[in-house]
Structures are given as C-alpha cells and as structure tokens.
Copies of this chain bind each other. A is one copy, B any other.
Amino acid sequence: MSQRQHLPADERRERTVETVVALCGEEDPATLTTGRIASRMGVTQGALFRHFPNKEAIWEAVVAWVAERVMARVGAAAEGAEDPLQALEAMFLAHVAFIAEHPGVPRLLMGQLQQPCPTPASRMVKGLLATYRQRLAGWLEEGQRRGQLRPGLDLDAAAAQFIGCLQGLVLQALIDGDVAGIVDRGPAAFDLYRHGIQADRGGEA
C-alpha cells in the first residue's frame, strides 16, 4: 500500500493550514489534536513536526492565513464602492461569504482570544481585529463627514457592532446548524445595522 504523497515543504504547510481551517468548522479548535489534523491529511502525526516546530506554530500559520485572506477579500469588496455606506455593506457581505466558505474561521479566532496568557497566535488575532476596526473606523468617519450617518453616532460602538452583527449571524448558524444560511440572512442583518447608523431620510424603500 501507501503510495506516499511526497509534497514539497511549503505546499505541505499550506495543506496543513487548510486542513486546520476545515477542521475548525467541524469541532472546537481547542480540542483539535495533531493526530486528527494528520489523519485528515492522510499523513502520520509525527510528519507534522517536520514542517512545524510545535503545535503553536501551526496556529500561528493558520491565523496568518486567515488574516491575509479575510483582509484581502474585505478590502477588495470595499474598493468598488462609491460611498462609505456601500463600502461597509460590501465589506459585510464579503465577510459573510468568507465565513460561509470557511465556517471554522469565527470559532478559530474566538478560540485564540480565549487563551488566557497571550500567545503569538492570539496576539496576531488581536492585531487583525485592530486593523479591521481601524479600516471600519475610516469608512465610518468618511460617512459621517459626508452626512450619511446620523449625528451623534458613537463611531467606536458602531465599529464594534459591525463585528457583533457578524457574530450574531454566526451564533444563529451554530444554533440551527445551518452554516450556508448566513449568506441568505446577511443582507437583512446589514439592513438592521445600516438603520442603526445611518441618518434619517425622508423617503426610502
């Protein structure tokens, strides 16, 4: 048996990361073992440690992978928008689509944040969320400058609740086990968010 699947190191690392992301969609990241990662990859457990010095290094690579992808997707979505509110909506829907493709991502990031003493990976998550919030804050400020947002809006809270809305969708998906459904529910969720931040206007659909 065993046609070995010799892969170059960087490709094996890439596959490892993808496998971890996929597995996080099925179980609690905290209970994920190197053995299960390896068996899913069709490789023995010890083989992982040829490409990563330890388990924590795997988490670092995974978080870096997620950070890069999510920021790229969300950034690209915002690019085509004509005004801040449209940009925020595009970001929101892009993020929802990303989560639908990778349902493990929210748990993964959440799991890292629950680490009591900060690890390299958990620091990366905090960094990701910090830059994410900064980007949101930029659009929100621009929207306020253009008068699109209601006066007196707490921009800090608005940025925090943008992510909160996403979490709400994820939670709902966890409850009724319907991951794909968040794509359908995404627009309504953002609608709610938009009404929360946008200035009152006379006539709208």
Give residues in A with beta carbon < 8 Å to B: 26-31, 107, 110-111, 113-116, 126, 129-130, 150, 153-154, 156-158, 160-169, 171-172, 174-175, 185, 188-189, 191-197, 200
For A158, give the chain B residue with the smallest CB separation.
B192
- Is B107's CB under 8 angstroms from A192's CB? no
Contact A28 B26 (CB under 8 A): no
Which of B114, B167, B191, B195 touches A164 (beta carbons < 8 Å)?
Answer: B167
Q: Which residues of B contact A185 (CB under 8 A)?
A: 157, 160
Q: Which residues of B contact A153 (CB under 8 A)?
A: 192
The smallest C-beta distance from A149 to any residue of chain B, in angstroms, reads: 10
Q: In the complex, what residue of chain B is closest to A174 when comparing beta carbons?
A: B113
Interface centre among A30, A111, A189, A196 (most CB of B within 10 A): A196
Q: How far is the CB of A187 from chain B (nearest CB, A)?
A: 9
Bound complex: CA A168 to CA B154 (Å): 14
Nearest-neighbour CB distance to chain B for A130, whole angstroms, equals: 7
Shortest Cβ gap from A171 to chain B (Å): 6
Residue from B160, B191, B193 within 8 A of A171 (CB atoms):
B160
Given A130-B175, A164-B167, A167-B168; 5 other pairs, CB 8 A cutoff? A30-B111, A157-B185, A160-B172, A163-B171, A164-B164
